Homo-oligomer: A and B are copies of this chain.
């Protein structure tokens, strides 16, 4: 593979001139510049990014470490991050931590070793350790879930408030016994949604289940709830993936959502309008979460001294028919 030396030799100039020409930093004699361009083209020269980055001590790539590539909420964040990064000339590489702390740590290591310019991260939870990144001076912004040690920028969604409002909406619709299916303990968003729910129904009336943020988790939780001596007549569900399982459980029991049990789920997945009745959801501004995160990250890359900010975005209840009787 052609190196800068080959180009320089072919063009009859120094490597410095090649570098200058190709990076357009300093001004070069048009004649030499043309020779360089020609030589580079002819040789099919592609600068070695590794060498360049090693020298410059920086990279134009952002790492985005998310907890689940198969969750539409996170892929929407990814799109948001990408849109912003692209326009600023950064590439973004997506790493799927799979809600697994071990994988997350590995990807943080990769980010560190590859010396990415910055990282956007949705922390898996409890043990996420971002210190190595910050020590090294790599900017980090947390999305969706806060870091334990609140240092650095974060962009979150006010999920507690949203959960409270969604629960109240159910209560206002005449449902009497609202239960909540939330994510696993230790995951902040799961805790918050539970807390918001409890805000609305009151400690004494809380009927809850915790499960993995997956369809199977939702299914099991719903089944167990329906087997209660005094089963719920409405459910608030932690995310759209769980909702799939919950809806399956309902169907298996011959229960109609809305009619028999009111349903509100977090996340406005594309299929939610397709089912009958259409699902009432709490739509989180996922794309915007990504955009804001990327902007924050870029700002911090530009100025390491900015002080940390926390942005909290609002979710929006979209009322459809699964939360209404008849």
Residue ranges of A at the interface with B (Cβ–Cβ < 8 Å) = 1, 44, 46-54, 59, 61, 63, 69-70, 72, 75-76, 78-79, 82, 86, 91-96, 98, 103, 106-107, 109-110, 112-115, 132, 135-137, 215, 241, 244, 247-248, 251, 269-271, 273-276
Contact = CB atoms under 8 A, between A and B. Distances in A.
Contact of A132 (B46, B50, B61, B112): B46
B270 A215 contact: yes
Contacts of A72: 70
Among A54, A103, A112, the most chain B Cβ lie within 10 Å of the Cβ of: A54
A69 B61 contact: no
Q: How many copies does the complex hold?
A: 2
A1 B110 contact: no
A95 B96 contact: no
B79 A70 contact: yes
Contacts of A82: 96, 98
Nearest to A270: B244
Contacts of A49: 110, 112-115
Nearest to A278: B251
25 contacts: A46-B132, A46-B136, A49-B110, A49-B112, A49-B114, A50-B53, A50-B54, A50-B114, A50-B115, A51-B54, A54-B54, A61-B114, A63-B93, A69-B75, A69-B78, A70-B76, A70-B79, A91-B95, A91-B107, A93-B93, A215-B270, A244-B270, A244-B271, A247-B274, A251-B274
